[in-house]
Structure 1
């Protein structure tokens, strides 16, 4: 049972919460279904506005939200930031929070649902392959650099949790991104392969066999198999061994839940995930790099590993949010404020005219 539970938990790529302490952010009460505190409820002149958009990417319709700064004038030129959401997350959660907060600082920002996920198109649902997630980031850059008022020479990238790992991969070759930042970076390939905190090395080949069988079943026209469908009670969640999972269940399942957000992904995706690593070829990143993480996050080892391997840039900083866990970096006001302050300074310097 222990190994089964851990295997199920590999589906998680969390974003933020604190069991019993996070304020509810009810998506149903927001006209844009935004599930974070302080979210925009209407577009008003002279304020930060939100613009739901869709665009095609490799034959799939992508759903995104563009945020424009206060007093936005399309005749002017603004720096822009692409924001990549966590695994299992959607644009209405933490990615939207940071996109809105950066728009408040004068940036045009975009947060899009990954292909096959959220409100974006693609079948079967909840495919989670690194190549697709990386292409999503390139696609957001394609769209936002042509948006009225965007200065394409001042484009930044922010990846959160799993989106952070994929952002590192995208930035290796996409030099449209002039500055790269991550928050609570999660190396999806390493965790799917080795288990969280490298705790499942002994079952690696067994899980690969299961993924291979799931792929064969799909190819034969059979039912699509999914990983991460666990329905745990509060008591079971409380006994989980890692803060990331305990707090993640609360954030995604209760305090900041959204109907388009799900932990599950196609089991066959593991064939791609388990041979991926966010740090592979990371030395190709030559842009300025800022990596933010909670000092008490049990996922911190992934940020530290990536930061050490990012030898292609000398302009890099590892910033720790004192006392924060992985999930808390996504909603706790004091941690979000500190992170936004770091990001504003970083992008202000690296995306200057």
Structure 2
């Protein structure tokens, strides 16, 4: 593995590039960009799990920290702005095509959770991406719009964002909130029983997956663009690359990746598209648990070998 950086606008994006066994710089290899979930970083599932496993199977993999997050630059910090996230993918391709050992005609993308939604969205307008894989892909815009599931959840959030921007314009400190509770005790105190939220805490806030680049912090005002964004918008017209979707068949949770997977499958124009249900696996099982991850890779690896 080698840590590198590439540019997005005026700042650098931090990434880890992994190489196949017996890597030979005089050869050309297919490459896969690995995108992390919302609130995550390259040291977690996108790089340390899927990036590593795919490199073992003969691919060069590039896992990056989203702009304004992890070790990447960009301001305001801890923003989750879809336009920045999607541009990161284009810039990652820009970097890969400069490497003599990457075959520019064989670049693919694999996104996990929110990174899957971003990967799909990027591929629609980045034709240098030749194949798209997703693992428990989630549509971040839909998640934000649903909010507390009330009829006007999105409107209430936008009103709150407007008030916060006014306060910050007048000198108030930026509001940085958390994505999830910081412990299972906080879940219990809040009466949270949802499988996705509870397993998110177990993944992000314990030694299982905890990393410094994933501090559970979100710039509140950055939510506004997401509320008007749909990861799968125009998939019916623009998403034509081969597509493989992995969802978990276990208990569905609040993040909705199971239904998003079927929604994406129905909407994608791709002539070659497949949907894999890993039976019994929850959303977070497919982040790092050996059995479910192995099941996902059983179909992801041949998919990428066929199309890259």
TM-score under structure 2 length normalisation: 0.93
Gaps of 5+ in 1: 1-49
Q: Contact between 2:181 and 2:201, CA under 8 Å: does it hold in 1?
A: no
Aligned to 1:308, the other structure's residue is in SS state: helix
Moved more, 108-117 or 146-155: 146-155
Identify the residue that residue 54 of structure 1 maps to in structure 2: 5
Q: Which residue of 1 aligns with 2:275?
A: 318
Task: Tell me by how many angstroms 1:222 deviates.
Answer: 2.9
* Distance in 1 between residues matched to 2:131 and 2:214, nearest whole Å: 28
Count of matched residue positions in the alignment of Structure 1 and Structure 2: 299
Corresponding residue for 1:152? 104
Equivalent position of 1:208 in the other structure: 158
The counterpart of 1:78, out of the listed 29, 32, 36, is 29
Corresponding residue SS for 2:130: strand
1:151-190 pair list within 5 angstroms: 151-190=103-142
Change (3 A) 1:326 1:124: same
Per-residue CA deviations over 1:52-85 (Å, capped at 9, x if unaligned) read: 0112210111110000111111110100000111
- The one-character-per-residue Cα deviations of 1:217-271 (angstroms, maximum 9, x if unpaired) are 3344431112326655424425423211100011000021011103321111121
8 Å CA contact retained: 2:154, 2:227: no
Q: Aligned in 2, Cα 1:342/1:54: closer, same or farther, shift over 3 Å?
A: same
Alignment equivalent of 1:222, drawn from 163, 166, 172: 172
| Number of the residue aligned with 2:266 | 308
Superposed, which structure 2 residues align to 1:27-176 within 5 Å? 50-96=1-47, 97-176=49-128
Select between 84-93 and 298-307 the one with higher mean Cα deviation.
298-307
Match of 1:256 among 205, 209, 221: 209
Q: CA 1:262–1:71 in structure 2 vs 1: closer, same or farther (change >3 Å)?
A: same
Give how far 1:319 is off. Answer: 0.4
2:242 to 276, 282, 288: 288
- Is 1:237–2:187 an aligned residue pair? yes
Between 1 and 2, higher relative CO (CA 8 Å, sep ≥ 6) is seen in 1
Task: Name 1:328's counterpart in structure 2.
Answer: 285
Partner Cα distance (2:114, 2:180) in 1: 20
Deviations 1:68-124 (A, max 9, x none): 111111110100000111000000000111011100000011000001000011222
Gapped regions of structure 2 (runs ≥ 5) = none
Give, in angstroms, the shift of residue 279 of structure 1.
1.6
Distance apart, 1:195 and its partner CA: 2.4
List per-residue Cα deviations over 1:177-205 (Å, max 9, x = no partner): 11001000111000111127xx2434322
* Maintained 8 Å contact 2:34/2:61: yes
Tell me if structure 1 keeps the 8 A contact 2:196–2:284: yes
| SS across alignment from 1:201 | coil
CA deviation digits over 1:10-48, x for unaligned, max 9? Answer: xxxxxxxxxxxxxxxxxxxxxxxxxxxxxxxxxxxxxxx
Q: Quick check: 2:3–2:14 contact (8 Å CA) kept in 1? A: yes
Q: Which moved more, 1:299-308 or 1:63-72?
A: 299-308
SS of equivalent to 1:72: coil
SS in 2 for 1:122: coil
Checking the alignment, whether the CA contact within 8 Å between 1:182 and 1:292 is kept in structure 2 is: yes
RMSD, aligned CA = 1.5
- After alignment, is 124-133 or 262-271 more displaced? 262-271
